[in-house]
Amino acid sequence: MTSGDQSGTGGASRALWGPWATVALIGVAVAVVTATSDMMELARSGSSRRWWEPLIWELTSATVIIASAPLVGWAMRRWPPQPGRLMRFGAIQLLATIPFSLIHILTIFVTRESIYWAIGRHYGFFDDGVALTLLYEWRKDVLTYAAIAATYWAFGYAAARRTAAPAPAGDGRIEIRDGGAAFFLTPAEVLWVEAAGNYIEFHTGQRNHLVRGTLAAWEERLAAKGFVRVHRSRLVNRTRISAIRPTPAGDVEIALDDGRSIAGSRRYREALEGGAARA
């Protein structure tokens, strides 16, 4: 059987390179189009600027943005959008635009000033004032950050939908797919399922399997197989529960039949205990 960890590694690599390549292609295309437009505007206006200057401006900016895109992807994986926590997600990502913008601004400042100094010309990046220039560049970088974040999210969402594709009709096993690889688990093998950013971790008695996916998609698929949500980031196999113990805080400790225990939230306690009683 193919290891879930191995297939997850291959899928993770594709999930990282796919959005980065898309950002790179779009970034270069936008830079070229913008630069050529600026060249034509300079020619029409009779400006003293040289024809190659817009090319320097746009390509230095695009290079930094493309190089920084994986940092945005990391932030999206570290703090993904989750139901009920969208305000927190938005606040964190907005704060993340600040270091993203500072990296962009400082790098193009050093690069452009160095190029102009080398040819004996003056660029004057901060001629309008440091604060005004920072604000001007940051508001543009917020939109750029959002576009990159949306690209990474779209790739992650598509991968999650592929991973959570239903198994063949009549087959009671759980099929986990990642790209061209697939492996199968019987429901009884799985103790619990846990969200890990843009990934889902299947805990079994022998090994853990890490695959792309969302907990909501897997919850819908696994509900008919006896899995119930016990935490905002966790599903448990009801048939593997040996005891449910309340904690002083009002939550629950769920003992499993292999000797391990996991925590359950008070929010899901009633549904868990009611389902266990019916079972």
d(CA 221, CA 171) in angstroms, rounded, equals 13
* 69 and 123 fall within a common domain: yes
Comparing 43 with 234, the larger pLDDT belongs to 234
* 44 and 85 fall within a common domain: yes
Q: One-letter amino acid identity for 214?
A: T
Dihedral sign (CA 164, 91, 75, 21): positive
130-163 and 86-118 are packed helices; what angle lies between their axes, rounded to 10 degrees?
A: 130
Choose one of 163, 185, 203: the last residue of a domain.
163
What's the burial of 230, exposed, middle or buried (CB within 10 Å: 0-12/13-18/19+)?
buried
pTM tops 0.85: no
Q: Token digits for 1?
A: 């059987």
User: Comparing 5-19, 58-72, 204-218, which segment has the lowest mean pLDDT?
Assistant: 5-19
168 occurs within a structural domain: no
Choose one of 163, 193, 228: the last residue of a domain.
163
The DSSP bridge pattern shows strands 261-264 and 252-256 to be antiparallel
> Per DSSP, which regions of 136-187 are E strands?
174-178, 181-185
* 60 and 145 fall within a common domain: yes
* 239 and 119 fall within a common domain: no
The tens digit of pLDDT for each residue in 135-167 reads 999 999 999 999 999 999 888 777 766 655 555
* 76 and 202 fall within a common domain: no
For 192, the 3-state DSSP assignment is: strand
The tens digit of pLDDT for each residue in 28-61 reads 999 999 989 888 887 787 776 788 888 999 999 9
CATH number of the domain bearing residue 228? 2.40.50.1020
The tens digit of pLDDT for each residue in 171-214 reads 678 887 654 557 788 889 899 999 988 788 899 877 788 788 88
d(CA 18, CA 23) in angstroms, rounded, equals 9
Instruction: Note down the domain range covering 184.
Output: 174-278
